[in-house]
Amino acid sequence: MLGTLAAAGAAVAGWAVAPKFFGSSKREAKMQSAAQTKTSPRALQAVFPPGPEHWVGDGFYVKTVFWPQLDAQMLSPFLLLDHAARKRFDASHYRRGVGEHPHRGFETVTFAYEGEIEHRDSAGGGGRIGPGDVQWMTAASGIVHEEKHAQAFSERGGDFEMVQLWVNLPASKKMSEPRYQPLLDREFPRLQLGAAEARLVAGRLAGETGPAKTHTPITTFDLRFHEDGTSEVELPAGWTTLVFPLEGDVTAGPALEPIASRHFGVFDRNDDGVVQLHASKGARVLVLAGQPLDEPVVAYGPFVMNTREEIGQAFRDYQSGRMGHLL
């Protein structure tokens, strides 16, 4: 989140992960399954355990679920996902969070599930988001911002849960104007998809369109299972499709592979089957789908560009004040 220099990349780059990849035997299971259902479930390519838990600043105790160095092409256009699981903070006059820091070349998307966060940036964007709200901030050519617990939330204390997602920008948009989109819970269309209700944040799903403006084709939503069962979603073939259970375990794919809570599953990009998720009542799942960018990714600290030279330029531009300052 919040992209302190160490948080994004450097600290996790050396983290050893043991993903589970699924082989061709699943094809047979898929064919059998396809004969029994009218649509064939999309194959799961791999399931990854999450990275290390760590503090970002003093406000966000996160598990880094994925990060660019894990496999940038597999994840594209997504870069990083930090999950601050539900945690209680005592009442305090001091506001926890992350102080002034820069970003360039991508977008930070903050999903507030519990608690309240206040943002402020050098492009004049900022505001407070609370439970159910999403802030979609496009750093693009560069911003400096701070991310803090809201004053009122700090003073009263309480449970806090949030997610921060980093979405890459194509080379042609990396130096475009910054943008700030505060999106309120009530703006998200609700869709009944089998055993779960979806809240559509961005893109198209089952005839609805989410309110977030994106620079490349992306569909982002979360699911809340109101009963034990299956939720089925049609998403474009050829896109990256990632599934992250925030709470509760999920099974997916023709062979019902488990994706444990806070692990993440990657679906097979070459499979045009329907994405089927099975979970128990109360499970909450974040689903990220997007067209891959197919460009080189060079991620270092708070900057994500296409070449090392551009990273060097980003540091120089930040240090010389060209990304602005908080007032």
Q: Closer CB to Mn ion, residue 2 or residue 134?
A: 2
| H-helix segments, the chain | 25-36, 68-75, 151-156, 308-319
Q: What x/- string results for residues 38 through 67 when contact with Mn ion is judged by CB under 5 A?
A: ------------------------------
The answer to whether 201 contacts Mn ion (rule: CB under 5 A) is: no
Question: What is d(CA 42, CA 299) in angstroms, rounded to the nearest whole number?
Answer: 30
* CB 313, min distance to Mn ion, A: 19
The answer to whether 2 contacts Mn ion (rule: CB under 5 A) is: yes
Q: Which residue has the tokens 């539900």?
A: 86
* CB 234, min distance to Mn ion, A: 33
E strands present in 272-319: 275-279, 284-290, 298-300, 303-305
From the list 2-10, 13-21, 185-193, 243-251, the region that binds Mn ion by CB under 5 A is 2-10
Closest CA to 110 of 40, 161, 44, 48: 161
* CB 251, min distance to Mn ion, A: 34
Q: Closer CB to Mn ion, residue 44 or residue 117?
A: 117
- What is the Cα 134 distance to its own chain's centre? 11
The answer to whether 3 contacts Mn ion (rule: CB under 5 A) is: yes
Q: Closer CB to Mn ion, residue 62 or residue 255?
A: 62
* CB 217, min distance to Mn ion, A: 24
**Angle at CA 134, nearest 5°, toward 98 and 220?**
120
Q: Assess contact for 117 and 196: CB atoms under 8 A.
A: no
Q: What x/- string results for residues 103 through 142 when contact with Mn ion is judged by CB under 5 A?
A: ----------------------------------------
Exposure string over 34-61, b if 16+ CB within 10 A, otherwise e: eeeeeebbbbbbbbbebbeebebbebbb
**Beta carbons within 8 Å of 309's beta carbon, 6+ residues apart:** none
Q: Closer CB to Mn ion, residue 166 or residue 267?
A: 166
Question: What is d(CA 82, CA 162) in angstroms, rounded to the nearest whole number?
Answer: 8
* CB 287, min distance to Mn ion, A: 23
Size of the site for Mn ion (CB under 5 A): 2
From the list 3-11, 109-117, 188-196, 311-319, the region that binds Mn ion by CB under 5 A is 3-11
Residue type, 241: T
List of residues contacting Mn ion (CB under 5 A): 2-3
